[in-house]
């Protein structure tokens, strides 16, 4: 709903659109983030930190 509240403000809405289109939503990016989370969890399990 917050994004929809910006719709009347065309310049802000366009900035929001462009920002969303520039973000990397690929499977590769998701997989790389998952690997990072997994490695951090594994390191935490091993060290307790």
The predicted pLDDT at position 2 comes to 84
Provide the Cα torsion 22, 23, 24, 29; round to 10°: 160
Per-residue confidence (pLDDT) for residue 48, from 0 to 100: 83
Q: What is the pLDDT of residue 24?
A: 95
Residue 11 to residues 7, 21, 31, Cα–Cα distance (Å): 9, 16, 33
List, for residues 1-49, the tens digit of each pLDDT value: 788 899 999 999 999 999 999 999 999 999 999 999 999 999 999 998 7
């Amino acid at each position: 709903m917050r994004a929809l509240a910006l719709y009347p403000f065309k310049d802000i809405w366009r900035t929001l659109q462009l920002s969303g289109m520039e973000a990397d939503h690929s499977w590769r990016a998701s997989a790389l983030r998952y690997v990072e989370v997994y490695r951090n969890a594994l390191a935490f399990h091993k060290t307790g930190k």
